Amino acid sequence: MSNFCCGASKIGGIGTIHQDGITINQVPILYCPVCHDVEIHPKVKENIDVVIKIAQSEGSKRVNFESYMKEIRDEHFFEDCSTVNRGDIHEVIQSQIDISLGLLSFARDIGDIEWQEQLKNRLSRLSQQRDLTTNK
């Protein structure tokens, strides 16, 4: 598991996952706004299997993860993420653009051509997404 993807960091958030025929809501995730890769947050990854076993034993097809782990409401839960989606996607995208611009400047300073290309691609995709969210 890596908190980095497509040249910069993933975004922390809460989402829904589907695993072993069970839909689990309110799961802490990390996702890439560029390639849309999604991973279960490492702090809860082991707990997902336990929740699935409980849901299967109860015959449930849909569960709310938050009812099993109250600490995901803690403001420090996502402290290892540079950006956290708290509902304003335009703000999240703009934050990622700002971070990527800073990283691009650093990549230029150290002469890392490959990283620069990754960041340019990321900025292009983020700009497209920002434009789509602005026009809604």
Does residue 46 sit in the same domain as residue 106? Answer: no
pTM of the model: 0.73
Does residue 54 sit in the same domain as residue 32? Answer: yes
**What is the three-class DSSP state of 14?**
strand
Q: How many domains would you assign to the chain? A: 2
- The confidence score (pLDDT) of residue 33 equals 83
Does residue 123 sit in the same domain as residue 62? Answer: no
Does residue 66 sit in the same domain as residue 45? Answer: yes
Tens digits of per-residue pLDDT, 1-55? 567 787 678 888 888 999 889 999 989 999 888 888 899 988 888 888 888 998 9
Does residue 79 sit in the same domain as residue 14? Answer: yes
Structural domain including 96 reads 89-134
Tens digits of per-residue pLDDT, 54-111? 899 999 999 998 877 766 665 667 777 777 887 778 888 888 899 999 999 999 999 9
Phi-psi region of 59 (alpha: psi -120 to 50; beta: other; left: phi over 0): left
Helices 89-110 and 113-134 sit at what angle, rounded to 10 degrees?
160
Q: How many helices (H) and strands (E) does the chain have?
A: 3, 7
User: Residue with structure tokens 């990390």?
Assistant: 30
Q: Which two tokens stand for residue 122?
A: 């990321």
Does residue 18 sit in the same domain as residue 77? Answer: yes
User: Residue with structure tokens 């299997």?
Assistant: 49
Does residue 12 sit in the same domain as residue 35? Answer: yes
Does residue 31 sit in the same domain as residue 66? Answer: yes
Does residue 25 sit in the same domain as residue 71? Answer: yes
Does residue 18 sit in the same domain as residue 70? Answer: yes
- The confidence score (pLDDT) of residue 97 equals 92
Tens digits of per-residue pLDDT, 7-20? 678 888 888 999 88
- The confidence score (pLDDT) of residue 71 equals 62
Does residue 80 sit in the same domain as residue 56? Answer: yes
